[in-house]
Amino acid sequence: MHKDIEKILYSEKDIENIVNTIAKQIEKDYNDKDFIMVGLLKGSVAFMVDLMRKVNLDFSIDFIVASSYGSGTVSSGRVNIQKDISQSVEGKDILIVEDIIDSGNTLDFITKYLKAKKAKSVKLCTLFNKPDRRVADIHIDYAGAVIPDEFIVGYGLDYDEKYRNLPYVGVLKPSVYS
């Protein structure tokens, strides 16, 4: 285990099981759809790569780079698009893939943004749902696990741009923040 991690909340195996369950639901719902799986970078990178390989359908992938966090652990509420989707979404079914939904500000903004670009449908898929600090009124279509109000890292999730490469998800030792 990494020296900065206090405890592991989701092991590699736990995450694999969650990914497989969500992939089966998506296969069922998107069987007859022409859809784009859109990962929100950078946090969704590990989840997106694992999920897309488990969904046995024809679809395209794309990425948006959006950010609402600075170097800390609280959402600024302002969402910036740093890299837009690279194709037209008009008339397309969009499945957004996210690592975590917390305040909901990021997904609220991105959903409205894609609908304004005339997407046929926009659904949300997140590995982790943290409802305690929700501000925006959003509907999550696929959620892996509900987590309490703790700041988690690993499997794409960072603190100050570190720990994204950990294959598991855990919480940091308090000394890391001081």
Ligand X SMILES: O=P(O)(O)OC[C@H]1O[C@H](OP(=O)(O)OP(=O)(O)O)[C@H](O)[C@@H]1O
Ligand Y SMILES: Nc1nc2[nH]cnc2c(=O)[nH]1
Active site residues: 102
Query: How many Cβ atoms from other residues are within 10 Å of residue 135's Cβ?
Result: 12
Give the orientation angle of helix 45-54 with respect to helix 12-29, to 10 degrees.
50
Residues 50 to 69: which contact ligand X by CB under 6 A?
Answer: 67-69
Token pair belonging to 173: 């030792």
| Interface pick for ligand Y out of 94, 100, 110, 122 (rule CB under 6 A) | 100
Which residue's CB is nearer to ligand Y, number 66 or number 152?
Answer: 152
Q: Kindly state the DSSP code that residue 30 receives in the 8-state scheme.
A: T
Non-local (6+) Cβ contacts of 155 within 8 A are 10, 15, 46, 47, 99, 127, 164, 166, 167, 168, 169
**Minimum separation from the CB atom of position 133 to ligand X (A):** 7
Interatomic CA distance for residues 108 and 140, integer angstroms: 10
**Minimum separation from the CB atom of position 106 to ligand Y (A):** 8
- Which helix or strand (DSSP H or E) is residue 48 part of? helix 45-54
* Stretch 12-51: interaction string toward ligand X, x if CB under 6 A: ----------------------------x-xx--------
Ranked by CB distance to ligand X, the top (closest) residue is 43
Q: Which does 151 bind (CB under 5 to 8 A by kind): ligand X, ligand Y, none?
A: ligand Y
Binding residues (CB under 6 A) for ligand X: these are 40, 42-43, 67-69, 75, 98-106, 158
Binding residues (CB under 6 A) for ligand Y: these are 69, 100, 102, 130, 151-153, 157-159
